[in-house]
Chain A
Amino acid sequence: MSPADERARSDAALYDSVHGLREREPLASAAVAFVPWQKRAGLAGLLVLVVLLVLATTPTLIALTALCTFVYLVTLADRVVLLTRGLARDAIMTVPDDLAREVPDEDLPTYTVLVPAYNEPEVIADLIDAVSALEYPADKLEVLLLLEADDDVTIDAAEAAGLGRVCRILRIPPADPRTKPKACNYALHYATGTIITIFDAEDRPDPLQLRRVAVAFAELDNEVACVQAKLAFHNGSQNMLTAWFTADYALWFNFLLPGLMKSDSPIPLGGTSNHIRSDVLSEIGAWDPYNVTEDADLGVRIAARGYRTAVLDSTTLEEANPDPINWVRQRSRWYKGYLQTWLVHMRRPARLWRALGPVGMFRFTTLLAGTPVIACLNMVFWLVTLSWILGQPEAVAQVFPAYVYFPALICLLLGNATIFYCNLVAVRESGNPQLWWACLTVPLYWVLMSVAAIKGTYQLFANPSYWEKTVHGLAS
């Protein structure tokens, strides 16, 4: 290919990676946070609420409190159902080591691993370790290190390290938005594998993961478009925050995701280690560069198009964010992205309902809209509870008549206790018993979550596509 052709190809790929989804299917893109009808509906709802609050303050507040309590209870009950299903031994797809190794090299599918990185020269060494540890035939494996073309430090570090046979650098031409999904979309134009996966540069995937996925895809039916591996942290004991985060992930990836899989509900994919069939990926339109949790969005799109995601018992170790500020930035991005994703898919609610069914729709809403909204609401109710404990103000008493008060009391006691208990179960079953104390102090983590949720929700309105970069390499 001549340099001119090469250039044209790159330009086309870049254009497609930024604008492709938005132009082909504008309603699937989060380039605009709210479509006009959503804006109008939202403003109308707000207006009605304000009018009601002015005209009938107490009844409206009572209704809102009752509604919130109901939502809390329903979400809680559903979480318990998911956990119970996820706890069954067969909830997660398991491919034993010998079965994974047995597959002859020639029967394995071609694989592309995408490793987006930006301004992270320090993680190159980790990446090389992780890639060389993967047990997969070199002629079927392609590892693309996606670096922004102007990210000289990382490119220099990578070139100096010498990446070896399977790994090569793909320079992403500089253009906004500088997001991970844009880089991945660009890379899709160069990727040759029939299965595509993403790892972060500092990830340490289970060396047999790619083989296990290959076996899983061969065993599962054609409707399965994606296999999500479990994520866990290697620095859970570094400090209090990483301990909480580890317990959080233990519950999410070991039990709630398998529970979702068993319930045929849409699975918001985790940031890395999701293995997707490339034919499906191009059919349903890859990643949305304007969505800040493009993985969750893709997970929902997979479900909305009638495909399924399986959860595989193979762990990728990541680095838990040990710094509270950095953690809040990362979590606020996730919360914002969840809301973006919910809004995007709710643009055609009837169509989504037909695709997901009532239960799938309910789970989609509680997971993607419910998670951030509830985390925001928590702060409100904590403050209400605190004010009640401090002074028992009459205003609070009025908003909680007996029929709201008792369900709310149940929610307060049983709800919090259930989440504590779920965390304890999760750390036990994920082999982290030393984190029991983190489970007992987890309310402090909830405060951080709430702060992140409020920040993320605010940003959804103020700056919808802004990507809060997470700094890696802070683990000692």
Chain B
Amino acid sequence: MRSRTGVLFVVVTVLYLAAGLYLSLGVGYLQGDALSRVADTRAALLSRDPHLAAIGFIFTPLTALLQLPLVWLSAWIPGLTTWSLTAVAVSAPAMAGAVVQVNALARERGCPPWLTWGLTAVFALHPMIVYYGANGMSEALFVFLVVWAVRRLFRWMSTDDVHDLMVAGCALGLAYLARYDALAASGTATLLVGAVAWRRSRRPAVAILDGLLVAAPTVLAFVAWAATSWLITGNAMAQFSSRYGNAAILEQSGGGSGGGMDALTFSLAEIVVLAPALALVGVVSVVLAVRRRDPEPLVLLVLLAVLTFAVLTYLRGMTFPFLRFYISAVPLAVLCVVFIAPRRGGVRARRLGPMPAERRPDPMVGVRPVQVVGLLVVVAGLPVSAFAMLSPALSQEQHALHTAVVPWLGYSDPDLRFEQQAIIASFDTERRLADHLDALGLPEGSVLMDTVQGFPIIASTKRPDRFVIPSDRDFVTILNDPAGHGVQFMLTVPNEGRGTSDALNLRYPTIHDNGAGIATLVMEVLNSGNDRPTWRLWRVNR
């Protein structure tokens, strides 16, 4: 069984890697957030002031940290970062890990092989799962870690094995370092474990201790991240409150929701298109769980909590209308079908806990047709999700896949096609700008820019050390007197939208318009990408 799991992992990893290579190298379609992380990681290793803190405190660090070794190689092979390949190298095995966990959970629950492998395939081939395994975003790690925790909690329900609690706790702690939404998962898991432990033992101490074992790693991750952030930037919650943080981006780009019924409808629509079968299989598994008096499906509350968190934050206008925030609906629907299966066999523990629960086999009568229907409805959901991902209204970030992958499907609207081509061309301009600057053979620290829009340049250039960027500890000094510190060129973006947070615009508000008296315009570069700024390259006056 172990070797079969290994094969599954390798095969699925290769599948996602291939998809990732096709999208980045074949089509040139990259996700901005993934590329931005790549650039931060590169700045931490290869900029003129390499230090770990340059990895930044806006994004959670896990995805970036895991890329460090490969990003280091980009000193010799810049293509690794230009095309975001280091990020794909993390997301592909991570998402494959999630597939392996779904497979293992189905097996341990006692699903018959056809169902185990059917559900594994549905999950692995779900277009959203494939895309996020292939595009280098942090969703892959997040899904993997949360599903891993769910599986370990499921095991703990019957084994009471401390190993299961420890792994679940650590997975959730790591998940917090992949995406903040993990706080919802972690909190729910803690309450669930506490409640189950209390019900079993009737001793508050047991409930508290087991809850602590699950919660502690997340608490550590939270405190460690906030403390590190505070020590280095003086701001414990940079991701929320800094001028590059979430709230600021929302304000600058005006992408948040208006709240109310519209927001709620949008969230529900996103969930429905990602997992059309969810409501049906969810209700069936709840009914069966109640009839069987089976506590195991309760572990799905962890995934449900993540989903609820996404809905609530959007409702409160705190996030963007992005389909990916609801990605946990996919494993949730698949696992609902897993829990339709009756309990069979025992779960092997490394060390049985003090209060293991006997797994009584559930009655099998009439369950097989329900399982078949369950599998069929989740399979039937796949094309729905695929089409929804091509819809600009539902899938702001993914709809360009239409032009990138399935252009033969036809277009109703030529403007849309044009927009999708521009999305795919995003960062093209910055890549060429990087090539141009590389070709000038400049010395170290001779180009000043902010990475808020300039990150693709850092990801693409052969020589990141030629740039002076905000993560450099002497950035402010140099910004105040570029000429005096050997800066020859400056790159600026319009002082509007996200460009208002650009450090050059903040220091010299008119610089993009007239050089603020310290620089002379060399050239203006119109951007071929969608929602990307016009660049101006300035020569610093001596």
Contact = CB atoms under 8 A, between A and B. Distances in A.
Interface of A: 87-89, 402, 406, 409, 413-414, 417, 420-421, 424-425, 427-429, 431, 433-434, 436, 439-440
Contacts of B51: 402
B350 A89 contact: yes
A240 to B, nearest CB: 16
Contact of A433 (B205, B217, B220): B205
A425 B216 contact: no
Contact of A420 (B208, B216, B224): B216
Contact of B228 (A88, A409, A425): A409
Contacts of A427: 209
Contacts of B203: 433-434
Most chain B beta-carbon contacts within 10 A, residue among A425, A433, A434 = A433
A409 to B, nearest CB: 7
Contacts of B162: 87, 425, 428-429
A436 B166 contact: no
Contacts of B224: 413-414, 417
B211 to A, nearest CB: 9
18 contacts: A88-B350, A89-B351, A402-B51, A402-B52, A409-B228, A409-B231, A421-B166, A424-B212, A425-B213, A428-B209, A428-B213, A429-B351, A429-B354, A433-B203, A433-B209, A434-B203, A434-B205, A436-B208
A417 B352 contact: no
Contacts of B208: 433, 436
A6 B87 CA distance: 83
A433 B216 contact: no
Interface residues of B, number: 27
Given A406-B52, A433-B205, A436-B205, A413 B220 contact: yes
A87 B220 contact: no
Contacts of B351: 87-89, 429
Contacts of A424: 209, 212-213, 216
B52 A433 contact: no
A407 to B, nearest CB: 11
Given A87-B351, A428-B162, A428-B210, 13 more contacts: A87-B162, A402-B51, A414-B224, A417-B216, A417-B220, A421-B216, A421-B217, A424-B209, A427-B209, A429-B351, A434-B203, A436-B208, A439-B212
Contacts, number: 61
Contacts of B354: 428-429, 431
Contacts of A429: 162, 351, 353-354
B212 A436 contact: yes
A302 B153 CA distance: 43
A335 B210 CA distance: 33
A434 B208 CA distance: 9
B417 interface: no
A428 B206 CA distance: 8
Interface string B144-179: 000000000000000000110010000000000000
A463 B209 CA distance: 43
Most chain A beta-carbon contacts within 10 A, residue among B163, B209, B216, B227 = B209
Nearest to A87: B351
Contacts of B209: 424, 427-428, 433, 436
Contacts of B223: 413
Contacts of A439: 212
A144 to B, nearest CB: 38
Contacts of A89: 349-352
Interface in B186-217: 203, 205-206, 208-210, 212-213, 216-217
Contacts of A428: 162, 209-210, 213, 354
B102 to A, nearest CB: 26
A88 B162 CA distance: 11
A274 to B, nearest CB: 25
A244 to B, nearest CB: 16
Contacts of A414: 220, 224
A329 to B, nearest CB: 31
Most chain A beta-carbon contacts within 10 A, residue among B212, B213, B354 = B212
Contacts of B206: 433
Interface string B337-359: 00000000000011111100000
A132 B354 CA distance: 31
Contacts of A402: 51-52
B352 A87 contact: no
Nearest to A89: B351
Contacts of B216: 417, 420-421, 424
A443 B228 CA distance: 21
Nearest to B169: A421
A440 B216 CA distance: 11
A431 B209 CA distance: 11
A428 B223 CA distance: 24
Interface in B317-352: 349-352
Contacts of A87: 162-163, 350-351
Interface in B3-33: none
Interface in B213-241: 213, 216-217, 220, 223-224, 227-228, 231
A425 B220 contact: no
A86 to B, nearest CB: 10
A92 to B, nearest CB: 11
A72 to B, nearest CB: 16
A270 B216 CA distance: 31
Nearest to A91: B351
A414 B166 CA distance: 15
A330 to B, nearest CB: 28
A406 B52 CA distance: 8
B205 to A, nearest CB: 4
A347 to B, nearest CB: 40
Contacts of A433: 203, 205-206, 208-209
